[in-house]
Chain A
């Protein structure tokens, strides 16, 4: 296997003729990336795009943290502060976390199920390239007359309708484009998983990452259209005089919240289920044991996904719901702790009496287990209706969802990136730099978000550019931590560039304890893998074997 050509996935302009199905049609230069239908190249595009968005959204977070470093107005006006909180949320959710998981899915799902590519490769190209357009439109609103979205990433009506800036129609268009991208990407992933598995691989033989993505894709197809519907209703209210979210005409602003969170809560699990999948691969690899409770992991994931459709109003406890609804949504929300607890138990049981080593992917995975659990437990606190009346719209909520999204989802993505970097680039990530990245991130993330629990419990409201003096110390710590965390992520860019350019070469099976078909192909993976279906014997290869 000619390794210089196999670099091609991350390096344009490198010939691939000896691997190509159709060398004559392979465009070169930038057009190769524009026209590509290869799952590895599209996966790389998704991952690099999400990395860029991570820094764009992260810069906005640092604007917020700089302003909140001290009480009073320092650097930005409240109007701009509102645009920063809104855009930070939108970009991190739709531009960084979601595309990163789709990128990992593109890269790894075909290789884990023994498929040559995604089921619908051209649709795959279409899904990716919609994203830069969608986020180009979204970011351009910041420069428009009246400014960009300033109503929070949840864009509640009437803030986002009656009182919205004129650019809101652009915001709606960008959400539509990103939504089309997500739905088509999810359809592609489901078709790939259900249809392109190598002969002999049953559903219960699939890796947990494939399983969690199958369920995530179902959630995406079920709820992204609801998001499309609700922004369409907003568009009509703004531009065509309808009354959906206006009580004066018989509508209801609370209806907006119901529709939004019917999308929004499954969306939360869309951003965490694939993370569960990644951690469920990494922990067994570095504990050198098979995953404890494979089947229960699958059922727990499915249970979480199904429950996610009946918990949405826990985001709305203070909006004025009937008591019956408050009780129902409180109990249904608490139920989610059961399958989530099953997962955490299984990860710990996998570690139990394992031969554990602490390479960088494992560090991030263990960090995930500990800190995601902190976020999960504060979620149970928020599920309690009378307590939520106190916590609602305070920094406690901000602390909660940042614990599940940053040391949760983002750490899992980084764990996956370190885990599969040998497969992508052919080289191990620099271990020393990786450790610096991990430890500075852990310190930064906890300095940033742990004090928010306290400022929130003491009553500091979220999305406000100024605050009372008694919150000053907590905010100063948060801001220092935020800058530490933000700049620590530059180490990752350094690690990635180093691994692409060189470093310790990895064998096909880059990690001693790793299992799965992706470790049967060379590192780096050649541009086309599994042109003929690989051999799969469940009794030997299945993660669920006994």
Chain B
């Protein structure tokens, strides 16, 4: 442990971040509650992007300036690790909801199990998964659901491969083999990008042709909740990796000091694991 601690100087970024997040929250809230506020929301979102650029740029510059010691590095590692744990719990809530609906709520509405008395509400309802016919027909279920063995399978292969290619890139970084690192990082990004495009195609197909929408009962709700938030996380992870690529091109990182890259890789593997859960429990079973 060092004999002198590094204490970073004050920064204007946190308070600007608070301001733009507040602007986003007010914009989103008033847009949804009262139908106006889009300019605030857009300004807030653009502001968040700018703040992240500025704040991370400062941190990168401090890091490149050699200001961070081993202790700071450990703080960053623990910060990122616990942040990913919080993300795991965020998705756990959604998976928990999915399992609760499938294992308890729907069978009970159908008259099965300990609380089958709930069937009194809609006596004609029959439980199934995917739920094609909702208890109250006025809500209506989807006409069809996505076949897991077409686009979702391709997406699974893409995302699993991207974890492998990212690990190859990481090993190349540890060997200080820059061309190999750049090559495999680009491959990873391309795989992630194609994943997102395919997910977009799947969404359009679901929405326009299958009647699988957010409004299509609980199946549509859980489908878009889980895959949607996962897609947002893939997008964030891809942006992080893109920044890593730009930093690699500028000659940042060394064979034994590259925590930002590792943090991005941890995040990428995390979204990959979530996808495997999604593929199994949203698409296949």
Contact = CB atoms under 8 A, between A and B. Distances in A.
A117 B12 CA distance: 18
Contacts of A530: 5
Contact of A239 (B32, B75, B97): B32
A129 B14 contact: yes
A21 B101 contact: no
A35 B96 contact: no
Classify the interface of chain A: helix, strand, loop or mixed.
Answer: helix
Interface string B227-247: 000000000000000000000
Contacts of B11: 35, 37, 122, 125
Contact of B15 (A115, A129, A239): A129
Contacts of B96: 258-259, 262
Contacts of A36: 10
Interface in A111-135: 115-117, 119-123, 125-126, 129-130, 133-134
Contacts of A246: 139
B203 to A, nearest CB: 14
A243 B25 contact: no
Contacts of A188: 79
Nearest to B88: A225
A169 B33 contact: yes
Given A255-B97, A324-B114, A137 B14 contact: no
Nearest to B87: A225
B114 A322 contact: yes
B5 A168 contact: no
Interface stretch (B148-156, B204-212, B214-222, B248-256): B214-222
Contacts of A18: none
B4 A531 contact: yes
A130 B18 contact: yes
Given A145-B34, A187-B79, A170 B139 contact: no
B14 A123 contact: yes
B25 A173 contact: yes
Contact of A250 (B13, B21, B85, B217): B217
Interface string B72-115: 00110011001101110110111011001100111001000111
Contact of B90 (A134, A191, A225, A235): A225
A244 B223 CA distance: 11
Contact of A130 (B21, B30, B100): B21
Contacts of B139: 243, 246, 248-249
B38 interface: no
Contacts of B12: 35
Contacts of B101: 250-252, 255
A300 interface: no
A233 B225 contact: yes
Interface in A313-329: 320-324
B66 interface: no
Contacts of A235: 32
A166 B29 CA distance: 10
Given A35-B11, A255-B100, A250 B105 contact: yes
A37 B134 contact: no
B7 interface: yes
Nearest to B114: A322
A324 to B, nearest CB: 7
A122 B14 contact: yes
Given A120-B75, A174-B25, A249-B218, A166 B34 contact: yes
Contacts of A243: 134, 139, 217-218, 220-221
A186 B93 CA distance: 19
Nearest to A199: B1
Given A229-B97, A238-B32, 17 more contacts: A27-B10, A126-B14, A129-B14, A137-B22, A137-B25, A167-B29, A191-B75, A221-B89, A222-B86, A226-B89, A229-B94, A236-B221, A248-B136, A249-B221, A255-B97, A262-B96, A322-B115
17 contacts: A22-B9, A126-B18, A166-B34, A180-B21, A187-B79, A190-B82, A196-B5, A225-B86, A225-B93, A226-B89, A242-B225, A243-B218, A247-B105, A252-B104, A259-B97, A322-B115, A530-B5
Minimum-distance CB pairs A-B, first 3: A229-B93, A322-B114, A250-B218
